[in-house]
Homo-oligomer: A and B are copies of this chain.
């Protein structure tokens, strides 16, 4: 029903304990324990002696004993689909730092987009008695039953980005629609009127939201929505290349292309450049996700940053509030992404400075 570690470490050396310190100082080990934890009821001179000998003996508190005794833990668990991905690695990095700042350790798990592994991760974290969990679910985990027991055990849980549809957990989501809206509004503001959208898979929510934001911006600014300017597909560069070709074959070419992400935008750019089309003079290009590549393309690529710092901040805040029982009711917070304007969408009247 649950996995036991097949491998473990038999400690070679007897560890120093509070009793060792106590013996050395002719004190009772409880006094030592109190001294170590800055309990007020302890003579400052005694405390000093305890701290000194503890250091001298190379004492390290045994968290297992403390956690067992206190029935608590100072570890949180984080589950992500993959770690080797710009977005997730920066979120995990930030969460780890923020957790460390308040004395929490972080157990990291990857589902590898596999719902079964996600279940295993959940079980492992429960067995590790984590103080709380943070999760971004795998692409195919519409069903989130494996988190039921987390809730049932009362373990604080916060989803982010790829959230489950359950209503009993807190969530931090990214307002992709707003991001797309801002981006397309920006394209309009620099004078584009025929804005095409190279969208992602139609059934994927973040892709849908970007499309919604695109439509909303057109509507808001009185531009017509044109079927022929919208293509749905995937998240890869090759696909962007193919779409660019298709868009260029239209009788009335677009004057801007908004790609569902930076990889696709890159594909689009490569095709346009190979066709001798100037960016942004002939066609402006914008991506999404603010991938590291966006700063290194030529021209540099306008994109939308998901604001991972703010996401991490909100995730940790929500989690800590739950851990400290400040908040019991689940809340959903939205993070507003940031538009990052770069050369690929420079205003017509500013273009000379980049030439």
Contact = CB atoms under 8 A, between A and B. Distances in A.
A208 interface: no
Interface stretch (A56-64, A199-207, A275-283, A334-342): A56-64
A183 to B, nearest CB: 21
A9 B154 CA distance: 10
Contacts of A261: none
Contacts of A137: none
Contact of A65 (B68, B84, B100, B120): B68
Interface in A81-100: 82-86, 89-90, 92-93, 96-97, 100
Interface stretch (A70-78, A164-172, A250-258): A70-78
A132 interface: yes
Given A9-B73, A73-B9, A127 B89 contact: no
Nearest to A12: B154
Nearest to A88: B89
A128 interface: yes
B89 A83 contact: yes
Interface in A288-318: 292-293, 296-298
Contact of A127 (B54, B61, B71, B84): B61
Given A4-B37, A237-B296, A89 B96 contact: no
Contacts of A93: 82-84, 110
Contacts of A112: 97
A353 interface: no
A97 to B, nearest CB: 6
Contact of A8 (B15, B70, B296): B70
Given A75-B128, A270-B298, 9 more contacts: A4-B103, A8-B72, A9-B72, A12-B154, A58-B152, A60-B126, A60-B153, A85-B89, A100-B117
| Closest 3 A/B residue pairs (Cβ) | A5-B74, A9-B131, A12-B154
11 contacts: A1-B54, A5-B103, A8-B131, A13-B153, A13-B154, A58-B152, A83-B96, A84-B86, A96-B108, A100-B117, A273-B298
